[in-house]
Every structure is written in C-alpha cells, then in structure tokens.
Amino acid sequence: MIPQNELLASLALSSRPGVGAATYFKLFNHFGEVEKVFSASFAELKAVPEIHSEVIRSIREFNGWKNLEIEIEKMRENGVNIIPWQDPAFPRNLREIHDPPPLLYVHGEIRKEDRLALAVIGSRFPTEYGIAVVEMITRDLVNRGFTIVSGLARGIDALSHQTALKAGGRTLAVLGSGIDIIYPRENAKIFSEICRRGAVLTEFPPSTPPAAENFPRRNRIISGLSLGVIVIEASVHSGSLITASLALEQGREVFAVPGRITSPRSGGTNQLIREGAKLVSRAEDVLEEILPSLDSELLAQILPSQRDGPVSKSTLVFAPDEEKIFNLLGEDPLSIDQIISQSGLSFGEISEGLLNLELKGIIHRLPGQQYCRSLGAKT
C-alpha cells in the first residue's frame, strides 16, 4: 500500500479539470511521485511537455485536501478502496497495458491469484444454447483455478459471474459507472455477492452515471485484467467485438464460440472466427491455446482437471424416473409440460427427477421452466 499522502495526491490529480490519463502519467513519470506534482513550482510544471497552463493553475490552486480525506474515509467505511496505478496492489495484468487507468475504485478484494483470469462476455439476450455454453465453459474454467472477469451487464455477463460464484470461484466485475451506481439495477444481488467473494471495480469516480461513452473505456479494463477474452454469442454490432478488438491491441488471446449461421446473435462470434479468433467449444480448447504463454507462477495456479471426460450415463446411478427424464432430454430444450406429456410421469415425479438431475450436473434449467441436457452429457 502506498503512503496516504501519495494516495491523496493521486485522487486529487485525477480529479483536476483537464487531467486525463495521458496527462496524469506524463506528470507522474516526470516527477516520480504524484505528491511531488503538487509541491512543484509553476516553472517546474511548465517544464513538463504538453502540459497546458490551465491545468498547471488548477494543480497549483488546489486546496481540497481535507475534503479528499473525508471522501476516502467514507469509501473505506463502505468497503471501497482506491488503488492508484503506482500502488503494488494495482492488478499486474492491467498495469501492463498501454493505456491503464490512473486509479481504480474497488469494492471487495483483488488478489494476487486473480492474475490467472479470463473474460467471458457476450449477448445481453442469449439463447438457450448460449446460456448452456456459458455455464459449461465458465464452470470448467473456475474448476481449473481461473478467475472470471466480465462487465455485470444483462445476459451472458451476469450469467458468467453467477456461474463462477455458484462453482465456488472468484469473479471480477468492471463497471461503466461510479462504484456507487449499480447498472442494471436488476443485478444488485449479484453485485453484493461479487463484492463479498471477488471484487467490483471501476475507474470512474463515484456518482458517474452509466453513459454510453463509458463502456468502451470499461471494456479495455475487462480485457486488460484478463489473459484472454472468450466471446459467447454476439451480434456483428455488439460491444463484445469492441472488447475483442481491444484485447488484440493489448496482446491478449481472443476466443469465440461458434453459433448457428442463421442466428443474428452468433453473427459476431462467427465473424471473429473468420478473422482468426480461436474457435472453442469447451474449456480445454482455451487451455490448449493459453498454457504455452503462461509463466511459471501462473502455471502453478492451474488446477488438475476434476473430470476425465464428458459426463457419461454409465458413470452415474439413476432412479428409474430420473433415467426416463434424462433420456427424453437433448440439447434442444423441453418445457416441463412437454416432459410430463412425453414421460407419463406426474408433476411431482418430474419435479423431483429434474432437481436430482440438475444436482448431478447433467441437465440445465433454462428460463421459462425449460430444461435441456448439459453439453457433453452422453447417454
């Protein structure tokens, strides 16, 4: 952790009118510490290339230190820490990109092991296929030791966070708003759980609304925190493709899950594959591509596979009703009414059987009381 005075100076400098990331880092690199920026004379500040006089006056006239101390203390009381770029706690992956944020507001805890991270992103309106793929790939990556990064948006973002938490793993959510603004509001419960078992973070000051222009900036942080980006269902105009492009600029791997050629929601992912993204259908495809690039520290974090292959019916013990239900299901979903009609079982028998099969991890429950077989689950 950096000294309190350096933290105060970092927050003060980043909030000065006309001071964006480029100006912040020019001043930091010139003086070596942000605190020295505020003790420098007008002439010393003027000696820094491309620093305008208006910015220098804004720095020289700043006297709101007490208010900043109060602001930092209030945020800490609410579980939020401010981590400047020069703080050792700043995420290493993100520090290394060419345009990192000067500081982060973090609710929760970013840990050293979160460097082994992959982003999972995609459509805000996924199909049943997309939902099943997200759950399968995310769960398997968590079981191998990866932290999951996403943007807390509706659809695949939220589902990737939920799946990571359900699998007992860690997840990081990056906001396009201030740390005190949950967007969309429907994800408030997920937000709270991520703060407890991972971290929610943003570069935007408190009270910043989720304006459209914030999200490309947010997307570079999603990819910057990660070793690679996995895109699952995205249209050709999706923001997920912006994140994929930023990932390539940052030297990150880009992975895409193929979809139906007739589905608009797969137009973007199929386009990424045509342009050279790695086609993936399971977590092992991601590992094959990414393992050779990992250093020894990250390799040591990879957990052994917790399974020897696809789930097979022969390895499980079924009650008669469960087997009948499982045999009815395939990759295309069936409603609970369809299962009742085709099985001849009662509603109570169906409900109990579906719950047991879901707990075994071989079927998925989808919105609208629909069910399908998990990808990889064989007869």
Residue 96 in domain: no
**pTM of the predicted structure, to 2 decimals:** 0.81
Does residue 127 share a domain with residue 54?
Answer: no
Q: Would you tell me how many other CB atoms lie within 10 Å of the CB of residue 367?
A: 9
| pLDDT for position 156 | 96
Extract the tokens encoding 293. Answer: 């690039």
Cβ distance 19 to 205 under 8 Å?
A: no
pLDDT in tens, 339-377: 999 999 988 888 888 878 876 777 877 777 788 887 656
Q: Residue 60 — φ and ψ, nearest 5°?
A: -65, -30
Closest C-alpha among 57, 51, 12, 4 to residue 29: 51
Does residue 283 share a domain with residue 329?
Answer: no
| pLDDT for position 271 | 95
Residue-by-residue DSSP string for 238-299: -HHHHHHHHHHHTT-EEEEE---TT-GGGHHHHHHHHTTPEE-SSHHHHHHHHGGG--HHHH
Q: Residue 107 — φ and ψ, nearest 5°?
A: -105, 115
Does residue 17 share a domain with residue 131?
Answer: no
Does residue 263 share a domain with residue 333?
Answer: no
pLDDT in tens, 81-103: 999 999 999 999 999 999 999 99
Instruction: Please state whether beta strands 253-257 and 278-279 pair in parallel, antiparallel, or not at all (unpaired).
Output: parallel
Q: Which domain holds residue 234?
A: 112-299
Q: Residue 35 — φ and ψ, nearest 5°?
A: -55, -35
pLDDT in tens, 27-43: 999 999 999 999 999 99
| pLDDT for position 292 | 86
Residue 242 in domain: yes
Q: Which residues contact 267 (CB under 8 A, 6 or more apart)?
A: 234, 235, 236
Does residue 136 share a domain with residue 244?
Answer: yes
What is the strand order of the sheet 363-366 is part of? 334-335, 370-373, 363-366
Whole-number Å distance between alpha carbons of 12 and 232:
40
| Mean pLDDT calculated for residue range 109-126 | 96
Does residue 319 share a domain with residue 210?
Answer: no
